[in-house]
Amino acid sequence: MTPAPCADRLPREFFSRPVLAVAPALLGCELTHAGVTVRITETEAYAGARDPGSHAYRGITPRTRPMFGPAGFTYCYFTYGNHWMLCLVAGDDGIAESVLVRGAEVVVGHDLARVRRGTDRERDWGRGPGRLAQALALGREHTGRDFCRPAVGEPIDLTVTAPRHPVDPQRVRTGPRVGVSGPGGDGVTYPWRFWLDGEPSVSVYRPGAVRERRP
């Protein structure tokens, strides 16, 4: 028997939409894992084969397989040789759209987050995707998890739930993604980062490195 979902757990239908609709809609939602709950304040959208910034731009690989659907699953990946990041798969099967959870405020489990991050500086517990994944104790084993309706025997402590309070649309901002440029490194940017204005847990923007085209 499949476990009953939490009453306010976001359904798969929420994620089975275009990623540019899902990414801003996740602002204010809460994500829980391993005793820590965070309120999402910053996201980035990645659009598979039509997005040079996506890991899935050149097609499916063993690592990126979870991105190709269905929606409502996790994609965790290791980057820069020292930390993990969490993406939530969105869109239709086979399209490889996903939302990177880039920033969040810890609202439950402050003591756990403090120990995992090794700092009392609260804004740095979830400011940036690597710090956030560390605060939530996420790693390799958490990729490919169904966070909408887990199968029998699968841990159910990773959940994404609706906001406790409505998000003021006047606070939602959008702009280029952090550290991402366009095709061939030509400096093209996509305004696919979304954040809540005035939140300390939102990342500092850094543009992508522009690389010269080889002859």
pLDDT, tens digit, for every residue of 44-83? 999 988 888 898 988 899 889 999 989 999 999 998 767 8
Residue type, 130: G
Count Cβ atoms within 10 A of the Cβ of residue 215 and give its class: 0-12 exposed, 13-18 middle, 19 or more buried: exposed
Q: Which residue has the tokens 């009953």?
A: 4
Q: What is the pLDDT of residue 190?
A: 85
Residue type, 50: R
Q: What is the pLDDT of residue 138?
A: 96
- Round to whole Å and give the CA distance between 3 and 143: 20
Higher local confidence (pLDDT), 149 or 198:
198
Average pLDDT over residues 152-177: 86
Whether 54 contacts 96, CB under 8 Å: yes
**At residue 116, does pLDDT exceed 90?**
yes
Q: What is the pLDDT of residue 155?
A: 58
Q: What is the pLDDT of residue 153?
A: 61
Quickly state the pLDDT bin for 5 (edges 50, 70, 90). Answer: very low
- Round to whole Å and give the CA distance between 21 and 28: 14
**N residues, the chain:** 215
CATH topology of domain 12-196: 3-methyladenine DNA Glycosylase; Chain A (3.10.300)
